[in-house]
Structure 1
């Protein structure tokens, strides 16, 4: 998916079992990349975008993702738009969704204590190997060697959207131009796919996204850093610093 992915399995299981679980997890993520990549010409997403594959004839996973993206478009008043760039690109949901599916599978397989980090979209369950809650650092948007916040918890989905690596790449679909006003948006909840989409939507809204995030019901929480370096966050954000 064009990003680094790491997995920390903290359960006291045989080494062979842990190895097999890791292989299954990365196998699933490679499958997602092959199907949803916007860079591979033979991916389902690219074939649908070119009109070579009808959505109704696509895989069950792709059909489910497109349906959820349509729901998210409505939930965000069009701010989350899989066609914002002018072509089909559901990446703003897929990365978080695929990591959430992988985490759910690990729990079902008997590994309820783990941390999966897909390029800054993090799903933690249970406890770390030390028996303590997981700690998740949120990258400082102007200093890649530092964190601006540290979160802690035993069941958190944490998604961050920002323009500090790829510039202003999130498009405001209503105006068709790169969104400005927010440097970084972190959304915390129970589902990483939705958290990923909500973070992307808030970035696309610019500063109006702050008010939109404030109106999200529990359990959603957030932290926002504006282009002029203001840090704003939910009062109940599970901070670990």
Structure 2
């Protein structure tokens, strides 16, 4: 079974290799992602995030889900010494860097809870998969038609932050300026919540973010710095045939 839908501002594809998986299981994945977008997008005026940012909700009145998201935001802000921050001066609250991986991981968890054993859920290039091996290509940061690596993933997640799709959009909140020390940084972790948020947080830290992400439990890192040097941890699961 294979389904693609544009949700949360990017294409999401789900491939399920198990036989007999009902359409209701797959629909629940996309229904949840649509719900998460409606509730937590800072670009929707009636979302819970937007209402909190405007002061229409107090911090102690938010939903349990948003409280969890904000706690993760704070965890990564502290862990990076303030380089990663979803509240930048002059800008509204924007937890998208946490919401994407968190929401997609919850969708993956719903598949596992439904008994699905082999699937690959790709959300705008960030992947959470089970029952592999799955081969996940990492785009070259300067050549859209080339890969800089192919990873073998059995059960886990892969996320990449870079400058090639949206320009210098990741800010180092310590300086208020774009983070430009890296061209791309990929994190492999057990969950997409960790992989996606850690990739963005590490990118905000610059070249020092490679060691920071590598020191996080269960994380492996592949990065290309601004000088075109490839940096990777020994445990990056590179495919022998990539």
Same fold (TM over 0.5): yes
Tell me if structure 1 keeps the 8 A contact 2:76–2:201: no
SS in 2 for 1:165: coil
Tell me the equivalent position of 1:149: 149
- Give me the CA root mean square deviation: 1.3
Contact kept, 8 Å, 1:72 with 1:80, in 2: the verdict is: yes
Partner of 1:96: 101
Aligned equivalent of 1:4: 11
Extract structure 1 runs of 4+ deviating beyond 4 A. none
Do the aligned partners of 2:170 and 2:179 also contact (CA within 8 Å) in 1? yes
For 1:38, what is the secondary structure of its paired residue? coil
CA-CA distance at 1:55 after TM superposition: 2.5
Match of 1:136 in 2: 136
Residue of structure 1 equivalent to 2:50: 46
Match of 1:130 in 2: none
* 3-state secondary structure, aligned to 1:26: helix
Q: How many pairs does the alignment contain?
A: 232
Matches within 5 A, 1:121-200: 121-127=126-132, 133-200=133-200
Q: Deviations over 1:64-123 (max 9, x none)?
A: 111121122222222221113632111111101111111111001011211011112210
Q: CA deviation at 1:49?
A: 1.0
Q: Distance in 1 between matches of 2:144 and 2:12?
A: 17
Contact 2:84 2:205 in 1 (8 A): no
Q: CA deviation at 1:40?
A: 0.9
Partner of 2:114: 109
- Return 226-235 or 96-105, whichever deviates more: 226-235
Give the Cα–Cα distance (whole angstroms) in 2 for the partners of residues 157 and 35 of structure 1. 24
Structure 1 residues 84, 194: CA separation in 2 closer, same or farther (over 3 Å shift)? farther
Normalized against structure 1, the TM-score is what?
A: 0.92
- 2:69 aligned with 1:65: yes
2:3 corresponds to: none
* 1:136-165, Cα deviation, whole Å (9 max, x unpaired): 111111111221111112112111111101
